[in-house]
Amino acid sequence: MLNDIIDLLGSYGNVYLAGLWGTLWISFVTVVAGTLLGVVLAAVKLSRIRVLEIIIDIYIEIIRGTPVLLQLYFFWLFLPDVLHLDLSNTTCVVIALIVNSSAYIAEIIRAGIQAVDIGQTEAAKSLGMSDFHCLTRIILPQAVKNILPALGNEFIAMIKETSLASTFFVPELMTAYRTVQSSTYLSVPSLLISGLIYLVINFILSRLVKLLEKRLRASD
């Protein structure tokens, strides 16, 4: 088994590196774009405009209440066929992952903001601060301490969720496994290599998130 793994790395290392790059850039783009969309969703939900709040709640419940793979299939079929857009499989999958991530990030941001003691907001307003200054100078600096570690965990989760993109032959780690497996018929060794790469990446990122949490707690 070990010899097979070494041989595969020697012969198909570039395939796994390409898959790793695909996994990382898809995860990064998804979390960044999902964060931007999530900020908008959270702001709308906290706006206290009842109709908009209900719409965002329905959106979040649908996304969080359905499997990621179902959402990938929906966007893969919906965008090209229903909207008649000429989009690649990769584009459809990335859009689906952004939509999925935005729902979770919106809740992370909302919870982070609402975790700040309401008394601080009331005190700031009593001193004559506007809502905007109160949000940017009082609430957000404290909310960031709750939001950043959670965003780190979302990035880790997204790295694992990108494995579903292999269903649509999007270049990433699981697609690399399928490519190597179909060429060599060595299912277990090629799968172990992809699994070990996932494990190493997520182990490093989880340690970085824990380090970030410690530093944020130390700054309190």
Segment 137-145 long-range contacts (CB within 8 Å, at least 24 positions apart): 139/113, 140/113, 142/116, 143/109, 143/112, 143/113, 143/115, 143/116, 144/112, 145/216, 145/219, 145/220
* Owner of token pair 């964060």: 35
For 10, how many CA atoms within 13 A lie in the half-sphere containing its CB?
6
Do residues 191 and 177 make contact, with C-beta atoms less than 8 angstroms apart?
Answer: yes
Per-residue pLDDT band for 20 (boundaries 50, 70, 90) equals: very high
* In the predicted structure, residue 123 carries a pLDDT above the cut 90: no
pLDDT tens, position by position, 158-199:
999 999 999 998 999 999 999 999 998 888 999 999 999 999
Q: What is the pLDDT of residue 203?
A: 94
pLDDT tens, position by position, 28-80:
999 999 999 998 998 888 877 889 889 999 999 999 999 999 999 999 988 88
Q: What is the pLDDT of residue 78?
A: 87
Task: Tell me the whole-structure pTM to 2 decimals.
Answer: 0.88
CA pair distance 14, 35, nearest whole angstrom:
31
pLDDT tens, position by position, 193-209:
999 999 999 999 999 98
Q: Which residue in 138, 102, 147, 131 sits closest to 117, CA to CA?
A: 138
Q: How far is CA 99 from the centre of its chain?
A: 10
